[in-house]
A and B are shown apart, each in its own frame.
Chain A
Amino acid sequence: LAKTTQPISMDSYEGQEVNITCSHNNIATNDYITWYQQFPSQGPRFIIQGYKTKVTNEVASLFIPADRKSSTLSLPRVSLSDTAVYYCPLLLTGGGNKLTFGTGTQLKVEL
């Protein structure tokens, strides 16, 4: 199974752009790249999903290079409420549609 690697933690300040990178060197053809956010004592919440190139929605952008061995989640102008753990699980389609979670990145946003 493809494994993901992320920084354990990141710190930022309100109003800044935050970029979190995820490494997935063994990504398979059927894998989609997804990002989830998790607050303490809550279930993960979907942020964005992509296969290649760039995807943007109302809360974030996802950058995926041509080789797909990494991805970067970009959060524009973070606020205190963005303090959470961010995961970049690969979605294995056709094989149980399993999300393979790593240990995530704890993002801390300060004033």
Chain B
Amino acid sequence: EAQVTQNPRYLITVTGKKLTVTCSQNMNHEYMSWYRQDPGLGLRQIYYSMNVEATDKGDVPEGYKVSRKEKRNFPLILESPSPNQTSLYFCASSLTGDNEQFFGPGTRLTVL
């Protein structure tokens, strides 16, 4: 089944404890992206990747890192999480980026 998977689905952590949210797609898509969704603000793009080893900042990149060493994986790294990063995170992928984006199921992160 064609899909985007994220892990973990739920995470509660404390300020400053490094964490990684994994994202994987099995559709051989070139483009991958991370969004965060907050009440009243909609979804905002954090980082995106046009292809392997090609990543760039979105609208709200502060406090996040990404890497794209393999085509299928696009992990989101929070080196020192803070409470304002408490949010619902979605990974998405697209064949070339200018067409339909497939979203993962989401990761709900709480930083205490």
Interface residues of A (CB under 8 A from B): 1, 32, 41-46, 49, 87, 89, 91, 93, 96-99, 101-104
Q: Are A96 and B48 in contact (CB under 8 A)?
A: yes
Decide yes or no: A45 and B42 within 8 Å by CB, A32-B98, A97-B48 being known contacts. no
The interface residues of chain A lying within 8 Å CB-to-CB of B48 are 96-98
A44 / chain B contacts, CB cutoff of 8 Å: 43, 90, 103
How many interface residues does B have (CB within 8 Å)?
A: 28
The prevalent SS among residues of B at the interface is strand
Secondary structure of the A contact surface, majority rule:
loop
Bound CA–CA A101/B43 (angstroms): 6
Report chain A residues within 8 Å CB of B31.
97
Contact B44 A42 (CB under 8 A): no
- Complex CA gap A42/B90 in Å reads 9
Q: Are B101 and A99 in contact (CB under 8 A)?
A: yes
